[in-house]
């Protein structure tokens, strides 16, 4: 990752989830620059038309209108310039076959959105810290990040 602010994109259609994510991010010991989009079409448009550098990480919800997180992940991985872009799946469900498929598709981590706001900061911190300490995609054993 860069030495400056961590550039993040959050793709999530839920306005409350975006608010809580942004609020939790502001309480972390990282300097960040957050861009939010509300669906997969907006995400792909942003990535494909960006004239500046790529984000350092994308937090990607699975269940979004117009284009799902699954579709976005597949599309992102189809482009060579995006293949090493860390994508953290950020979803409400924890279906093991789905989680396994997302790992195989190229996602870096899977975070199940915690039911308690107090735990949200913890899982975001774990995800960002992992990326700062890893030089490549984490192992399957370290794919899922859960709140303690």
Please write the tens of the pLDDT for every residue from 99-147: 999 999 999 999 988 888 889 999 999 988 888 776 677 788 889 888 7
Task: Reply yes or no on domain 6-145 having CATH 3.60.20.10.
Answer: no
For residue 120, count other CB atoms closer than 10 A to its CB. Answer: 21
Q: Are 90 and 124 in contact (CB under 8 A)?
A: no
Q: How is the chain split into domains, by residue range?
A: 6-145
Please write the tens of the pLDDT for every residue from 10-57: 999 999 999 999 999 999 988 899 999 999 999 999 999 887 788 999
Tokens 């960040």 correspond to what residue? 32
Give the model's pLDDT for residue 1.
43
Phi and psi torsions of 58, nearest 5° = -120, 130
Take residue 1 and report the two structure tokens written for it.
């990752």
| Prediction pTM value | 0.91
Please write the tens of the pLDDT for every residue from 60-111: 999 888 899 999 999 999 998 898 899 999 888 888 898 999 999 999 999 9
């Amino acid at each position: 990752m860069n030495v400056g602010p961590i550039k993040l994109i959050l793709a999530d259609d839920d306005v409350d989830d975006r608010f809580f994510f942004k609020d939790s991010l502001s309480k972390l010991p990282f300097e960040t620059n957050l861009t939010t989009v509300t669906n997969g079409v907006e995400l792909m448009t942003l990535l494909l038309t960006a004239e500046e550098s790529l984000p350092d990480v994308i937090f990607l919800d699975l269940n979004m209108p117009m284009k799902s997180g699954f579709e976005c992940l597949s599309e992102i991985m189809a482009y060579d310039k995006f293949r090493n872009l860390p994508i953290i799946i950020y979803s409400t469900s924890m279906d093991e076959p789905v989680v396994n498929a997302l790992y195989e598709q190229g996602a870096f981590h899977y975070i199940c959105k915690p039911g308690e706001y107090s735990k949200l900061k913890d899982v975001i911190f774990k995800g960002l810290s992992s990326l700062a300490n890893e030089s490549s995609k984490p192992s399957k054993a370290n794919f899922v990040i859960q709140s303690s």
